[in-house]
Amino acid sequence: MNTAICGLSSMATRLLLAELSERIRLERGLAVRFEAAGGVDIARRVREGAEADLLVLADGALTALAQEGHLLVGTARPLWTSQVVAAVPAGSPVPPLDSDADLRAALRSARKIAYSTGPSGTALLDLIGRLGLADALAGRLVQAPPGVPVGSLLSGGRADLAFQQHSELMDLPGVTIAGPLPGDTAITSTFSGGVLASASRPGPALEVLDFFGSGTGAEIARARGMRASGDSGEGCSGPPDGSSAS
């Protein structure tokens, strides 16, 4: 019996990858198992020589690892895009997010604002700076620990407004999604994949990666709050703005 193809990923894509792994097992008989953790932690483990076949991370992090020689040349590719959304505790009033002014009002009225580690959190802090609210909100920002869904701070009463990938917030109990950020404040992430240089089964790993980028992968990604990279269709994910998050 063939051993499973092993993958590493950030938390944002863990449910999508689990569903895709089950689908390829049923359709092609390939066993695939992913381990998910915070993107910063996964990148560190790859640099320290973690043994795995596949890697799925935010594009910027994966590109850096590819440039350092941790991926097989020519295997890195963008897979899916996702937009950071705002969310509130279930049962709370949902703030409108139709304009920059709405977003400013939501931020100013929040007692505690939760955000994630990694590039998505950095993008949010940059946005707050661009909006001129860094000083006003400095004492109200709460960063979730690596690998911990930001939505858990909402349901646990530690924040009343949160920002994270739609895919990570959409199915959490105790959380209501307010919507994507308006206009040019939108924060869009691209998630990319590649075969690790340490892969013990590079051929099957590349087959799995191709499956992730297929029409089936795109269909499942849409159900998980993402869309295939290069898909111009809009929805919750919105148009890409060049930002990268995890």
Domain boundaries, the chain: 5-81+189-228, 83-185
Contacts of range 148-152, beta carbons closer than 8 Å, 24 or more positions apart? 149/11, 150/87, 150/114, 150/115, 150/116, 151/87, 151/175
Express each pLDDT in 140-160 by its tens digit: 999 998 778 899 999 999 999
Which CATH number, 3.40.50.2000, 3.40.50.150, 3.40.190.10, 3.40.50.10260, labels domain 83-185?
A: 3.40.190.10
- Residue by residue, DSSP assigns 39-77 as HHHHHHHHHTT---SEEEEEHHHHHHHHHTT-B-TT--E
Report how far apart the first and last C-alpha atoms of the chain are (Å, whole number): 35
Indicate if the pLDDT at residue 239 is higher than 50: no
At residue 84, the pLDDT reads 92
At residue 148, the pLDDT reads 83
At residue 47, the pLDDT reads 97
- Is 0.85 surpassed by the pTM of this model? no
Does the fold of domain 83-185 match that of domain 5-81+189-228? yes
Q: Tokens at residue 199, please?
A: 């892969």
Indicate if the pLDDT at residue 244 is higher than 80: no
Helix axis angle, 39-47 to 59-67, nearest 10°: 10
Express each pLDDT in 51-64 by its tens digit: 999 999 999 999 99
Superfamily of domain 5-81+189-228: Periplasmic binding protein-like II (3.40.190.10)
Mean pLDDT of the chain, nearest integer: 90
